[in-house]
Amino acid sequence: MTEPKASYLLTPARANIKLPPGACDTHVHVFGPDAMFPYPPDRTFTPVADAPKEALFAMHAALGIEHCVIVQSGCHGFDNRVVADAIAATNGKYCGVALLPVTVSDAELKSLSAQGFVGVRYNFMGHLGKAAPLEDIIALTKRLAEIGWHLQVHFDPARIDELAPAFKRSAVPVVIDHMGRIDASLGIDQPAFKTLLGLMEDPKFRIKVSGSERASKMAPPYPDAVPFAKKLVAEFGDRCFWGTDWPHPNINGPVPDDGVLADLLSEIAPSAAQLKALLVDNPQNFYRFRSTASQLGGAA
């Protein structure tokens, strides 16, 4: 695999919407720089470029985003230092979700918790490598409960019927990534989305209404994906989060403009109350950011 040769450069995000104070982006990644945080040989993919914390902070400043959840990426494997470094630069305004083996020690969990991590993610997507054994993941949630963490899951919608019963047995809240990676072209009445809605009836579950650009089979602004996100917010508005998925790794087609994705919020959460719940109240209550200051300060 070739090494990335460049960095993601900030271009002004084209956004018309004004986000409420305290807005949170609950799903981003940081990659490298490779010289400081090397990509391990067993990585699940190689990013096309470094995406360092400075570029992330600049994108958030352009959009008016104050809080963030940085999700460890498979390109860095179980070495979560790149996320820890970014969190440390924000004085508690950002937190992290780790990638970890199911055999992780209690000491490592406590160490990561002290560094600002609040959960662990497991992927059930073929392009991101073999998933950890499902029963081992559910067993791990008992230890996650002891430190107040949650389980985050990323799965192919074709597997939702298989995975849902196990997820219901989690000892901690379960956050579903990217609207369950639903295929918008199959319509809102498709079986996988109905199963997803049924899963969300359980108060244990939360969901990120992110990934419109991945669900969509249409050009920006991805109109076919909006009804799915809008329905989730309308029915489960107190348990939904939003994220950009910057810098959009492994995406088919052009990298989306994060400003375009932000502007979708005016349709996804059309009322001021819905928007505030989605961007401010829900993430603050769930992720428990250590700082609630309204300026990024040292993060810029």
**Catalytic site positions:** 245
Calculate the CA 276 to chain-centre distance: 18
d(CA 47, CA 60): 21
- Is residue 208 within 8 A of residue 243, CB to CB? The reply is yes
- Is residue 23 within 8 A of residue 65, CB to CB? The reply is yes
Closest by CA position to 239, among listed 197, 283, 276: 283
Dihedral of CA atoms 25, 31, 37, 40 in degrees, nearest 10, equals 120
Structure tokens at 275: 């928007």
d(CA 277, CA 291): 18
E strands, the chain, in order: 24-28, 67-71, 94-98, 117-124, 150-155, 174-176, 205-208, 240-241
- Is residue 31 within 8 A of residue 247, CB to CB? The reply is yes
- Is residue 244 within 8 A of residue 71, CB to CB? The reply is no
d(CA 119, CA 138): 13
User: In sequence order, what DSSP letters do the residues of 219-252 get, joined into one string?
Assistant: STT-TTTHHHHHHHHHHSTTSEE----TT-TT-S
